[in-house]
Every structure is written in C-alpha cells, then in structure tokens.
Amino acid sequence: MGIVSANQHVVLTPLAGGVSSDIYRATVPGGVICIKRALGRLNVAADWQVPVERNQYEVEWMRVAAGIVPGAVPVILGEDRQAGAFAMTWLPPDEYPVWKKLLADGEADTRTAAAVGDVLGRIHAATADRPDIAARFATDALFHAIRLDPYLVTAAQAHTDLSRQLLALVATTASTRRVLVHGDFSPKNILVGAQGPVVLDAECAWYGDPAFDLAFVLNHLLLKGVWRPDRRSDYLAMFAALCAAYRLRAAWEPWTALESRTAALLPGLLLARVDGKSPVEYVTRDADKNTIRAFARAHLLRPVSSLTMLAHAWAA
C-alpha cells in the first residue's frame, strides 16, 4: 500500500473480536495504524464462505460516508484490493469505546442512541435515489450471500412453517433499492467518540433497503434487554431515541412505508440471531432463546406496522 518501505520495521498485533476478517494493530514508523484483511471463510460454527472482494466495498462505503458525515468513519490510509486488505487510522479503545461494551456494562445513554440514529439517517438521506451510488454498490449477490441467506433463509430452513413469511421478507428487502446500506449496523461496529459515533465494518455495503440497517441496529437494542434484563426499559428508551432521530432525516419516502418494512423485518432478524448462521453469543440460556423465538414467531405470523407497538410488545 506504500505505507512503509521494504526495509522499515513493522510490528503486527492481532486483535480479537472479528469473525469475518483478520484485524491487526500495526506499529509503523511514525505511529500506529489498523490493518484489516477479509477472510474467505468466516469464523463461525457453520460453514460460511464469503467472497473476499467485499473488502473493496467496505472501503468505498467509508469514503462515501466520510463525505457525508466527516469524522463518522476512520480515515482510509491505503488499500490492496488484490490481497483483500486495507489500512485505516487507529482509534484508541480508551478514547473510542465500543458501543456494544457500553451497553453490556449497562450504560444506556439515549443521547448516544440518538446520535447513532442521526448518523445513519444522514448517510441514507444523502444517498437516497442516487444512480451513481447505486452503480458503485451493485452488490446484490454479495449481500444475499452475507446477509439474506445466512440470516433469513437459514432461519426459514429451521422454521419451515414460517418459510413463506421469512422468504417474503427476503424478497421485499432484495427488491427495494433506495439508499446506501451499511449491512452490519450493529453496536459491535460502532465506537463512541467525544465528537460522536464512528462506524466500522461496512463489508456488507449494498445499495438497497434502508429498513435493513434500521431493523438491524434496533434488533440489537431489543436483544441487549435479554442480556441485561435489569436495563431492558433503558434499552427501549434508546430504541425510541434512535428511531426519533433517524426519522427526522428520512425524507426520501413516507415514514409509514419505511417503518412498516422495518417492523416486519425486525422479528425475522430476532429469529435469525437465534437460529441463523450467526447467533448472538450472549444469548445462551434455552429459556431466553425460546422467549425470543416465541416473540419473533408471533410477530411474523401477525405483523405490526409500528415500531412503537413492537417495542411495547417486547416490554410486556
């Protein structure tokens, strides 16, 4: 990538936490940077093979997002598409804690949730109905392989009586092309900095349905209430704050249409995080898994069009 010369010393320290890439803290002359290289087979129990060219779309997503919300993504320092690797700025964990860790520790700040919703809404709004962006992120096959198949299709195979409902969600999501989608908009991929959220890991980038990103992050706020039941009401307050901030930016289509797709998709993603290829690691008790299954199944069979109604049902 031209970052160091052949005779300069580099120290690579592998970082934990990723299932889809090798990630390193690299000490180079002049400072510390971060290196990421995509894996062809993801580090999960299931046999999950994914094309490594997704790395280039992650870099492109970050470049687009940086032009919309400066500071909301790391700076790209170099790229090696042939190797499926790129370099970016290093963000020290003590200054940029992972949002997932803060949530796990019980820190439920609605201001952070609102800032996350605002960043997502700004990126979606700035890329809405843009043929140029759509052409750069025509990654339908990749998105199906990384997201729709391992989540919703796999859940449909585990719950054959819900196959029609789950595959209908796949069809709706796949055929809706409105904005630049991150695809893995999760608390584990969001850092909380002094100037606001910083978004990582956009290797699922796709021009498609904004409901996927919104449902994906809201799904995690519901699931955190299983992890920390004592803070469930706080996480639901964050759910509401994130939705409200996002809605202020969502002007490309009627909110009722976007909300309805999001509310329909969310139960499918809940079920997928128990019975898909990438189950959440912190839901381990069978009783909790069955509670999630029961809630998701009920709302797949009887969908609601309101995210507030869905949150109230989860609270109950």
Domain CATH for 285? 3.90.1200.10
Residues 148 and 172 in one domain: yes
Residues 189 and 296 in one domain: yes
Count of domains forming the chain: 2
Q: Looking at residue 252, what is its pLDDT?
A: 98
Q: Looking at residue 81, what is its pLDDT?
A: 87
Axis crossing angle, helix 110-127 with helix 210-227, rounded to the nearest 10: 160
Q: Domain boundary at 26, 59, 89, which? A: 89
Q: Decide: residue 128, CB within 10 A, 0-12 exposed, 13-18 middle, 19+ buried.
A: middle
Domain-embedded: residue 4: no
Which amino acid is located at 33 in the chain? Answer: I
Q: Give residue 34's domain range.
A: 11-89
C-alpha distance across the termini of the chain, in Å: 53
Q: Looking at residue 30, what is its pLDDT?
A: 86
Domain-embedded: residue 3: no
**Contacts (Cβ under 8 Å, ≥6 apart) of 135:** none
Q: Looking at residue 18, what is its pLDDT?
A: 62
Residues 109 and 238 in one domain: yes
* Residue in the block written with tokens 């993801």: 42
- pTM for this predicted structure: 0.94
Q: Looking at residue 111, what is its pLDDT?
A: 97
Q: Looking at residue 273, what is its pLDDT?
A: 97
Q: Looking at residue 78, what is its pLDDT?
A: 95
Q: Which residues on adjacent β-strands are paired with residue 84?
A: none
Residues 195 and 288 in one domain: yes
Q: Looking at residue 19, what is its pLDDT?
A: 59
Residues 210 and 309 in one domain: yes
Task: Answer for the pair 185, 217: CB distance below 8 angstroms, yes or no.
Answer: yes
Residues 106 and 16 in one domain: no
Q: Which residues on adjacent β-strands are paired with residue 197?
A: 192
Q: Looking at residue 239, what is its pLDDT?
A: 98
Alpha helices in 26-139, H assignment, sequence order:
54-68, 99-104, 110-127, 131-136
Residues 125 and 212 in one domain: yes
CA dihedral 46, 51, 52, 55 (to 10 degrees): -100
Residues 309 and 200 in one domain: yes
Total residues found in the chain within this entry = 316
pLDDT by residue for the chain (316 residues), tens digit each?
999 998 999 999 998 756 567 889 999 998 999 999 877 665 555 545 566 667 889 999 999 999 999 999 999 999 998 888 899 999 999 999 999 999 999 888 999 999 999 999 999 999 999 999 999 999 999 999 889 999 999 999 999 999 999 999 999 999 999 999 999 999 999 999 999 999 999 989 999 999 999 999 999 999 999 999 999 999 999 999 999 999 999 999 999 999 999 999 999 999 999 999 889 999 999 999 999 999 999 999 999 999 999 999 999 9
Q: Looking at residue 180, what is its pLDDT?
A: 98
- Residue 149's CB is within 10 A of a number of other CB atoms, namely 17
Q: Which residues on adjacent β-strands are paired with residue 198?
A: 191
Residue 245: closest CA among 210, 216, 214: 214
Residues 70 and 198 in one domain: no
Helix, strand counts (H, E) of the chain: 12, 9
Q: In what helix (H) or strand (E) does residue 304 lie, and over which residues does it extend?
A: none
Residues 49 and 158 in one domain: no
Q: Domain boundary at 89, 110, 138, which? A: 89
Residues 104 and 234 in one domain: yes
Q: Looking at residue 55, what is its pLDDT?
A: 80
